[in-house]
Amino acid sequence: MKKIISCLILTFVVVSCGKQGCFISPKQTVFELVNTGGENVIESGTLPFSDVIISEDAGNGSFRSMHYNLTNNNRISVEELGWYNGTKKYRFFTPDTTFNLSVKSSKIDSSGCNSFRIDEVNFLNITGSKENDFYKIIIK
């Protein structure tokens, strides 16, 4: 009898807490930096990936470094961009160009788990567009 009660309690805890704290990571946000001719400047070697710095505006004039990686097709995949409910600002630094983004995202319920989606990306002081699965940014 003691084993049955223990099993029932354990089952109740697992079932009742199964979705609590559940989180599905949103898709990575990917950017391609191109010149005015549409050529990927990282792929062409015009802009070394190591010269790109991406920061989140932390307020009061301070910035927090973001984690980002180079994809196999020479695009930049930024982690944790849009993993919040609201709007945040980001800054991209390269030796020749500095530009800003404003990203609005919202919380969604995905199969009973929390997640987020990017609702809108505004490119500030740069030309950018949403492509199929990435954002294209034209730098000079």
pTM value > 0.85: no
- Contacts by 41-49, CB closer than 8 A, 24 or more apart: 41/139, 42/70, 42/74, 42/75, 42/76, 43/73, 43/74, 47/94, 47/95, 47/96, 47/139, 49/74, 49/76
Q: Which of the residue ranges 53-62, 108-117, 118-127 would you say has the lowest mean pLDDT?
A: 108-117
Looking at per-residue pLDDT, the higher value among 78 and 16 belongs to 78
- Domain spans, the chain: 23-138
What is the structure's pLDDT at 9?
Answer: 47
Between CA 49 and CA 69 the distance in angstroms is: 9
